[in-house]
Amino acid sequence: MKANDKVDAARVDLLLSELRLSGIKLVWSALAATADKEGWPAARFLAALAEQELADRGQRRFARHLAEARLPPGKTLAAFDFDAVPMISKAQVQALAAGDAWLEKGANLLVFGPPGVGKSHLAAALGLALIENGWRVLFARTTDLVQRLQVARRDLTLEAAIDKLDKYHLLVLDDLAYVAKDQAETSVLFELISARYERRSLLITANQPFGEWGKIFPDQAMTLAAVDRLVHHATIFEMNVDSYRRKAALKKAAGPGRPSARATIKTSS
């Protein structure tokens, strides 16, 4: 190497930092050594660096989107037993996981069923798959989100708070039915539903399909208007099966080798 070919490595690191090329910064000197040793053409070296930066950015974006989504951990589509819910087609769920067909037009997914049938699991797993496919998702317990929006309303910042949720292509409202009566009075949920209508998607899980929704909104007219907007472009999953939790508990109680049909489980209700 000629003396004036010498590159100041610290200077390169500085430049790359300034340019926010942290992916390249991480690998350039090792890649440069390989390129020198193997006599790569300069264009090949440059392409390898650019690819590294792109891959690195993709990974960091995914990590960021995953962290902001607040998904319950460990719930994946791979771990979801579709045999337990025969009315739900795996192919349809996989199509939803691609996102394009419904998130682009702000369509909704409504998931109904009694407790323990896998509504939250399915919602979280879909959320994760969508993030993997580049979409942005926020998973929220409905009561928590409603509470936050109520605080915003009191501070006269409800509109801004709802606007902020626009960055999420999908907003999961888990357990709609548990919105408390006193939370209903202010109708922030209605404002949210109206604001997202035909623009940004909602995934709502609830124990009751619409019947009990009168309790969630201040009056019947608003309930009807909310339901109308939600179902206008929606896929509806009705998971009317036995609780997966209960079935799992039964299986465990039966133990290996004993027929599960003979197991009993005590429930206190």
Instruction: Write out the residues near ligand ADP by the rule CB under 6 A.
Output: 75, 79-81, 84-85, 113, 115-121, 244-245
CA distance 99 to 74: 21
Which residues contact residue 23 at a Cβ distance below 8 angstroms, ignoring those fewer than 6 apart?
52, 53, 54, 55, 56, 57
CA distance 189 to 118: 24
**Contact window for Mg ion (CB under 5 A) among 56-64, 75-83, 113-121, 227-235:** 113-121
Q: What angle do CA 239, 245, 246 make, to 5 degrees?
A: 95
Of these, 52, 108, 120, 223, which contacts Mg ion (CB under 5 A)?
120
- Rounded to whole angstroms, how far apart are CA atoms 172 and 166? 13
Contact 47, 33 (CB under 8 A): no
| Smallest gap from residue 264 Cβ to ligand ADP (A) | 20
Whose CA is closest to 165, among 187, 133, 140, 134? Answer: 140
Least distance in angstroms from the C-beta of 27 to Mg ion = 43
113 binds, among ligand ADP, Mg ion, none (CB under 5 to 8 A by kind): ligand ADP
Q: How far is the CB of 84 from ligand ADP (least distance, A)?
A: 4
Give residues 174-193 in contact with Mg ion (rule: CB under 5 A).
none
Burial class (CB in 10 A: 0-12, 13-18, 19+), 20: exposed
Minimum CB distance to ligand ADP smaller for 25 or for 119 = 119
Q: Which does 117 bind (CB under 5 to 8 A by kind): Mg ion, ligand ADP, none?
A: ligand ADP
| Sheet containing strand 108-112, strands side by side | 137-141, 170-174, 201-206, 108-112, 234-238
Show the tokens assigned to 84: 């337990």
CB of 49 to ligand ADP, least distance (A): 42
DSSP states along 41-100: -HHHHHHHHHHHHHHHHHHHHHHHHHHHHTPPTT--STT--GGG-TTS-HHHHHHHHH-H
Nearer to ligand ADP, 22 or 260 (CB): 260
Near Mg ion in 47-66, by CB under 5 A: none
User: Nearest distance from residue 42's CB to Mg ion, in Å?
Assistant: 56
Which partner, ligand ADP, Mg ion, none, binds residue 206 by CB below 5 to 8 Å per kind? none
99 binds, among Mg ion, ligand ADP, none (CB under 5 to 8 A by kind): none
Say which entry of ligand ADP, Mg ion, none residue 190 contacts (CB below 5 to 8 A, set by partner kind): none
* Residue closest to 70 by CA, chosen among 127, 126, 115: 127
Give the residue with the Cβ less far from Mg ion, 120 or 201: 120
Binder of residue 201, out of ligand ADP, Mg ion, none (CB less than 5 to 8 A by kind): none
Cβ distance 30 to 12 under 8 Å?
Answer: no
Q: Which is nearer to ligand ADP, 90 or 164 (CB)?
A: 90
Least CB distance to Mg ion at residue 175 (A) = 6
Binding segment toward Mg ion, per CB under 5 A, in 22-30, 73-81, 103-111, 120-128: 120-128
